[in-house]
Amino acid sequence: MKVERLAIADILLFTPTRLGDTRGFFSETFRADAFAVHGVDAIFVQDNHAYSGQKGVLRGLHFQIPPRAQGKLVRCSRGAILDVGVDIRAGSPTYGRHVAVELSAENWRQLWVPPGFAHGYVTLQDDCEVIYKVTDYYAPDYDRGIAWDDPALGIDWRISTSDVLLSDKDRKHPRLADAAAAFQLAR
């Protein structure tokens, strides 16, 4: 499994090996020991699977606050997405910065977004499926978000804002500067 540290060191990009033959392929998409070598000792408790029928579906930027914070291991099993993690840990030298990575069925990459980061993605094609593991159960009372289009974040979603399809909930998230601080960088 190939592992890359990105511009924010706590967010990792994993590319599992695919072994193929005339029947198709086989891939280990998660191994606790391989992830632990790179500092990810997460215990995943829930798998989520989302389908989006159209290009431009934007989901995010979401996070859960402590004590129900979630780490996420995200992959795209059909189509392609731009996956984004935003550092929302007060006191972090990368606070308010983000990483954005294309994940697709073709490139087979997975993004590890640890607790303390807001997460979101936009579909770059029609008919996308995204599968992600999380480290805590969905807890609506702890569910929060920040505005996907906050100009202070400077995220290039690679799609025209007029083409973005959002849920009502995602239209109402505050900008990062207006959101209550939920995470403090552990020292």
27: tokens are 């891939």
Which of 168, 78, 155 shows the shortest CA–CA distance to 123? 78
Average pLDDT (94-103) is 98
HSE, CB side, 13 Å, CA atoms: give it for residue 87. 20
CA dist., res. 85 & res. 103, Å (int): 13
Q: Is the preceding peptide bond at 67 cis, omega within 30 degrees of 0?
A: yes
> Is 38 assigned a catalytic role?
no
Is 184 a residue whose pLDDT tops 90? no
Confidence of residue 185 (pLDDT cuts 50, 70, 90): confident
Which residues, in sequence order, are bridge partners of residue 132? Answer: 48, 74
Active-site residue (options: 98, 119, 121, 132): 132
> Is 138 assigned a catalytic role?
no
Confidence of residue 187 (pLDDT cuts 50, 70, 90): low
Is 102 a residue whose pLDDT tops 70? yes
Is 39 a residue whose pLDDT tops 70? yes
Confidence of residue 22 (pLDDT cuts 50, 70, 90): very high
pLDDT tens-digit series, residues 160-178: 988 999 999 999 999 999 9
Average pLDDT (95-117) is 98
Confidence of residue 186 (pLDDT cuts 50, 70, 90): confident
Residue 32 host element (H or E): helix 32-36
pLDDT tens-digit series, residues 71-89: 999 999 999 999 999 999 9
Instruction: Please give the domain boundaries of the chain with CATH numbers for all domains.
Output: 2-184 (2.60.120.10)
Active-site residue (options: 62, 98, 119, 173): 62
Pairing of strands 183-184, 89-90: parallel
